[in-house]
Structure 1
């Protein structure tokens, strides 16, 4: 069994692979994207050795990472790895438990995540691979949420501008988000 800690950043991933005894097998900084995930799969395959041709006979790979979304995580799940999305706050508490200095580094966090899934994965839930329909619903829900937040930001900016330059409009239009106030209303309200 292999345990992988993946400390991700916007443009790279620091990964550490350890075995069941906690022995560090590999540490590497990988680029974000297809090149990086390919290198990670190659690194894992190198440490799995030469198992029989049946992928079901290969030893399990357990990955700890501080996110549950994105193409990187989806590719880990699709590869058949058991992926645990560790809450960053929980990872911070785990770090405090093992180090008094509170120092944070990407390399140390990769080690911490690998150790966390090696020793304490029973206390965390693995990411479930979703169906295409479930992924579509999640994508639509996230887009809807982002549109609501964006509309709220625009309404607040409009309110601020009106308060400064035309305060009487705020008396006439008490709810700027209402459909009849907006230009080009969809007329479905």
Structure 2
């Protein structure tokens, strides 16, 4: 990725950010002495400090800090005379440990180490260049939506566990419990005794009001309700778990409504970005993965010089470690996990929607790779394809790519063709 020298800056600052204060270490270009200070985490204090530096130095100032986004980053990005250089926290921790094996840590010294790293190795760090407000908004929306999805999974797991204690029949009556239908049903009839007392017409009206109009399914549910036997009649179990279930339903209902709100906002914002059509046409992308892939690549095409750089940054490219006669390969432990998750989840969706992707996945499985390893290998290949499309602005075309594989005499197509032939012979015999 592109880097930038610190020679043209009039001063450099290392910041150790915190919740209530930010320690900093400042060095003027061409001088050896450093200055230490502390900024309270209040808007007016940060603004006063920034203006004082600008009045003092006038020119551009380099700032090294341990994060690429957050309140202090947003505050400093308001000023065009600051150039921010994010430093990986693990990098700074290892650098500190190299000089302090005792693991002693102090905020001012961490600020000095961040400054020292930037001064000695400027070519290793990339200046933070914000993308457009729309792209940054979309990135934040999809990340926060994913957190809500995780909340939904957690609430449904806890709700399922609670219902198994006193009202397990509901889990058989409904295929999915992370729906408003299930939440409304349990809110209206939180126990087996309560739903048994309901009239059949009432139950039918409830299902109809929730767009469930399959007569056979409704009849089966009502019949099952009438014949259901209580797991327990112990009020010492039913009362607390009923209240627990209702509390979880309330949280789940709020989470489902929030996810729906985020989906609408994402669906409205994503199509306004220039490269949306490029990712919308991809096999298996769909309404949820299209915005995530759009954000994964972003709009700064100069950010990555090759597909391999993106593969490494996303954590898809494996890491090789060698020491003496030993050598072993493993996946990357330090990477943007949500980004890696995006590529892996989308690659998994393409197995049944792209001919060559399905053939490659089956080839990897035939070699003994696990499902996850095969999907990661497929994601690795997909990034190379998408990077080319992203750089040229050309929409992905499956037939064009298959023709390119055929012209190169790719063994992947030969392997897929032989498998299809064997499958046809097996069906005939």
Identify the TM-score tier after normalising by the shorter chain.
Answer: 0.7 to 0.9
Structure 1 equivalent of residue 122 of structure 2:
121
- Confirm or deny that 1:33 pairs with 2:42: yes
Matches within 5 A, 1:104-119: 104-119=105-120
Query: Which residue does the alignment assign to 2:72?
Result: 72
Measure how far apart 1:171 and its partner are.
4.2
Note closer, same or farther for the CA distance 1:36–1:149 as it changes in structure 2 (3 Å cut): farther
Superposition TM-score, scaled by structure 2 size:
0.38
Per-residue CA deviations over 1:31-75 (Å, capped at 9, x if unaligned) read 113123113314423652xx5xxxxxx2x3111111111232123
Match of 1:28, SS state, is strand
Residue 147 of structure 1 corresponds to which residue in structure 2? 148
Q: CA deviation at 1:21?
A: 5.2
Q: Which moved more, 1:31-40 or 1:18-27?
A: 18-27
- The 2-side partners of 1:88 and 1:117 are apart by 13
**How far does residue 4 in structure 1 lie from its aligned partner after superposition?**
0.9
**Structure 2, unpaired ranges of 5+:** 1-9, 185-252, 261-429
What's the CA shift for 1:128? 0.9
TM-score, scaled relative to structure 1: 0.79
Taking the aligned partners of 1:84 and 1:65, their CA distance within structure 2 comes to 6
Q: 1:170 to 1:113 in 2, by over 3 A?
A: same
- Superposition pairs for residues 33-182 of structure 1, below 5 Å? 33-45=42-54, 47-48=56-57, 51=58, 58=59, 60-80=60-80, 81-173=82-174, 175-177=176-178, 181-182=182-183
CA distance in 1: counterparts of 2:165 and 2:109, whole angstroms: 50
Residue deviations 1:84-126, cap 9 Å, x none? Answer: 1111111111111222221111111111111111112211222
Q: Distance between the aligned counterparts of 2:33 and 2:134, measured in 1? A: 39
Q: What is the aligned length?
A: 178
Distance of 1:41 and 1:136 partners within structure 2 = 26
**Distance in 2 between residues matched to 1:165 and 1:118, nearest whole Å:** 64
**Following TM superposition, by how much is the alpha carbon of 1:13 offset from its aligned partner in structure 2, in angstroms?**
0.8
- 2:26 aligned to which of 1, 17, 37: 17
Residues 16 and 26 in structure 1, CA contact (< 8 A), matched pair in contact too: yes
Is the Cα contact below 8 Å between 1:78 and 1:129 reproduced in 2? no
1:8 aligns with 2:12: no
RMSD (Å), alpha carbons? 2.7
Contact 1:4-1:64 at 8 Å conserved across structures: yes
**Structure 1: 5+ residue runs without aligned partners?**
52-57
Structure 1 segments, 4+ long, off by >6 Å, are 184-187
Looking at structure 1, the residues matched to 56 and 119 of structure 2 have their Cα atoms a distance apart, in angstroms, of 16
Q: CA deviation at 1:24?
A: 4.1
1: CA distance, partners of 2:171 / 2:182: 11
Corresponding residue for residue 55 of structure 1 = none
Counterparts of 2:31 and 2:173, CA distance in 1: 67
Of residues 105-114 and 178-187 in structure 1, the stretch that sits farther from structure 2 once superposed is 178-187
- Paired position in structure 1 for 2:239: none
Q: Show the counterpart of 1:54.
A: none
What is the SS of the residue equivalent to 1:78? coil
Name the structure with the higher strand share. Answer: 1
State the 1:173 CA deviation: 4.2
Structure 1 or 2, whichever has the larger Rg, is 2
